[in-house]
C-alpha cells in the first residue's frame, strides 16, 4: 500500500506539476521578451540621441571621413591609437 502512495504522488507530479511549471515558464517568457526588447530599443535611442548627437563638434570633425580600422598605431591619425582594430582618440 505504501508503494502505491509513492507512485500516486509521483504520477500527480508528472501529470500536474511539470506542465504547470512549463506554463508558468512560457508565461514569464511571453511577458519578459517584449519588455526586454523595448528596453533594448530605449537604450539604443538614448545612445543615438544623447550620446552621438551631443558630441562636441571638434570630436565629430576629427573622426568624419577617416578609415578608423587599423592593425597598428602607426595606421591611425595623429592623436589616435589602435585598439581592437579601430582607431580611437588617445585620450578616450
pLDDT tens figures, 30-54: 999 888 888 888 888 888 787 766 6
pTM over 0.75: no
HEC per residue, 48-77: HHHHHCCCCHHHHHHHCCCCCECCCHHHCC
Higher pLDDT, 3 or 14: 14
**pLDDT of res. 15:** 86
Cα separation of 40 and 46, whole Å? Answer: 10
User: Picking from 31-40, 66-75, 83-92, which range would have the lowest pLDDT averaged per residue?
Assistant: 66-75
Task: Please list, in sequence order, all residues whose beta carbon lies within 8 angstroms of the beta carbon of residue 60, skipping any fewer than 6 positions away.
Answer: none
Residues in the chain: 92
| Domain ranges for the chain | 1-54, 57-92
Amino acid at each position: 500500500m505504501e508503494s502505491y502512495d509513492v507512485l500516486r504522488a509521483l504520477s500527480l507530479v508528472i501529470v500536474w506539476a511539470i506542465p504547470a511549471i512549463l506554463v508558468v515558464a512560457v508565461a514569464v517568457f511571453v511577458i519578459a521578451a517584449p519588455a526586454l526588447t523595448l528596453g533594448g530599443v530605449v537604450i539604443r535611442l538614448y545612445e543615438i540621441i544623447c550620446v552621438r548627437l551631443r558630441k562636441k563638434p571638434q570630436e565629430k570633425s576629427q573622426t568624419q571621413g577617416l578609415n578608423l580600422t587599423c592593425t597598428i598605431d602607426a595606421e591611425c591619425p595623429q592623436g589616435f591609437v589602435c585598439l581592437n582594430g579601430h582607431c580611437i582618440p588617445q585620450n578616450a
